[in-house]
Structure 1
Amino acid sequence: MALAPKFAGQRFAASSAAPTLHTLELYLDYVCPFSAKMFNTVYTSVFPLIEKKYASKVQILFRQQIQPWHPSSTLVHEAGVAVLKLQPSKFWDFSKALFDEAKSFYDVNVVNETRNKSYERLAKIGAKVGLNEKEMYDLLYISDKPDKDGSLNTGNQVTNDLKVLVKMNRMQGVHVTPTVVFNGVVENNISSSFSGEQWEEWLEKNVV
């Protein structure tokens, strides 16, 4: 599936100049522990491997997959969209920082927290990787006052982009996180428990 220019930060490619033959799409949820496990292995082990051996052959796309049975999933993915709007080059580093603190956004830790308070904490995580905390919070903030037209579902400044991401994922029919898609086909042989060595073996077999 194509990647719209405004979501370009979701793409990891070791070489922007060289042609890419293969695409790995990772459907991940920031508050899914299995997604966190896969992301951390990809970030720490697979990225260096691609840079070393497959720079002209493989790109990776991070597909933000909201899992609505975790209410905070929407909020944390909104933060990811805010990063894409502010500094797309920081998206993967922000995702790493967010996954590192993801448990603080799990159900039991946010059940008594207001929505804007969660946004405040997410903006602070953004600041840790070099984003402007205030600018990020301003994109996420939800007013407690009706809009000028009386609307009560006002959304925030990332709502429209988030709708596009949700629509894209629904068109692919992805449900489970993490889900890996290789060249447009779901790859069920890749597990969230894959080690760096297993990723290396898989890439050797499937990337030509």
Structure 2
Amino acid sequence: MALPPKFAGHRLTFDTLSPSGASAKPLHTLEIFLDYTCPFSANLITRALRTEIFRTLTSVVIPHIRATPSLSSSLQLIFRHQIQPWHPTSTLAHEAALAVLRLTDGDPDKFWAFSAALFDAQKTLFDEAVVDETRNQTYRRLAKLAAETVGVNEEQVYKLLEIKKGEGEPRNVGNGVTVDVKFVVKMARLVSVHVSPTVLFDGVVQGDISSSWTGEQWKEWLEKNIV
């Protein structure tokens, strides 16, 4: 599935030596659909499932791809937003990530770093953690997190997220990234992705990939499928 230019920061490519343009080698595409606020289970001993797969990807899999020429020259990885409405703050967290993406001109390093920060702060966005907050108060915390972790301007992030009160009859006015949220949700629906995490390889759902996979399992799968 295509990636619009304004969402370019969702993509990681790894080979800086290969030529670009029409003569460049076609790349395999690995798409990871993730929800920043979706927990693994109610068991407090277990870490969040989405955090687990994201940490494995960023700490083991991506460094392995970068260090392996046969993989780095043949693969691109794309983060896809999978907003799950049964986790109400999922939308807010993904809005914050999209705001950071916009304010950093699509910088993948900033986007992926802020994604890591959101996963690390996941429990602060669970239902019981936000039950006494207004929506704008949660936005304010997310804007502060963005400023502290990736150096964007807190007020600029909040300005994109804030819901402002109007006069007269209430309306669904949205915020500065509502259009982007609608777009990424439509993209997920187009390929019938329902839950997080879901992994697509060259456009096909990979049902064998598990959230609990170790780095070694990922390496074995990559070596088998990247040809």
Q: For this structure pair, what is the TM-score category when the shorter chain's length is used for normalisation?
A: over 0.9
The partner residue of 1:162 within 181, 198, 202 is 181
Q: 1:125 to 1:199 in 2, by over 3 A?
A: same
Q: 1:71 to 1:198 in 2, by over 3 A?
A: same
1:139 and 2:145 matched: no
Amino acid across the alignment from 1:27: F
Q: Which residue of structure 2 lines up, in the alignment, with residue 23 of structure 1? A: 29
CA distance in 2, matches of 1:167, 1:16: 32
Q: Which residue of structure 1 lines up, in the alignment, with residue 210 of structure 2? A: 191
Question: Between Structure 1 and Structure 2, how many residues are aligned?
Answer: 206
Q: Which residue of structure 1 lines up, in the alignment, with residue 61 of structure 2? A: 46
Shift of 1:144: 2.1
Q: Please, what TM-score do these two structures have when normalized by structure 1?
A: 0.95
Q: Which residue of structure 2 lines up, in the alignment, with residue 123 of structure 1? A: 143
CA distance in 2, matches of 1:199, 1:165: 26
Identify the range of structure 1 (183-192 vs 126-135) with the bigger mean alpha-carbon deviation: 126-135
- CA shift digits 1:53-102 (9 cap, x unpaired): 12111111000010001110110010111012111221000000110011
1:96 and 2:116 matched: yes
Identify the range of structure 1 (178-187 vs 78-87) with the bigger mean alpha-carbon deviation: 78-87
Gaps in structure 1 of 5+ consecutive residues: none
Gaps in structure 2 of 5+ consecutive residues: 19-24, 39-47
Q: Which residue of structure 2 lines up, in the alignment, with residue 107 of structure 1? A: 127
Q: Which residue of structure 1 lines up, in the alignment, with residue 80 of structure 2? A: 63
Q: 1:86 to 1:20 in 2, by over 3 A?
A: farther
Secondary structure of the residue that 2:99 maps to in structure 1?
Answer: helix
Secondary structure of the residue that 2:72 maps to in structure 1?
Answer: coil
- Percent identity of paired positions between Structure 1 and Structure 2: 54
Secondary structure of the residue that 1:59 maps to in structure 2?
Answer: strand
Q: 1:156 to 1:16 in 2, by over 3 A?
A: farther
Q: Which residue of structure 1 lines up, in the alignment, with residue 12 of structure 2? A: 12
- CA shift digits 1:132-187 (9 cap, x unpaired): 1111111101112248xx66211100001111111111111101210000000000
CA distance in 1, matches of 2:16, 2:138: 35
- CA shift digits 1:41-60 (9 cap, x unpaired): 10111110110112111111
- Does structure 2 retain, via aligned residues, the 8 Å contact 1:20–1:59? no
Q: Which residue of structure 2 lines up, in the alignment, with residue 181 of structure 1? A: 200
Amino acid across the alignment from 1:86: L
Secondary structure of the residue that 1:84 maps to in structure 2?
Answer: helix
Q: Which residue of structure 1 lines up, in the alignment, with residue 50 of structure 2? A: 35
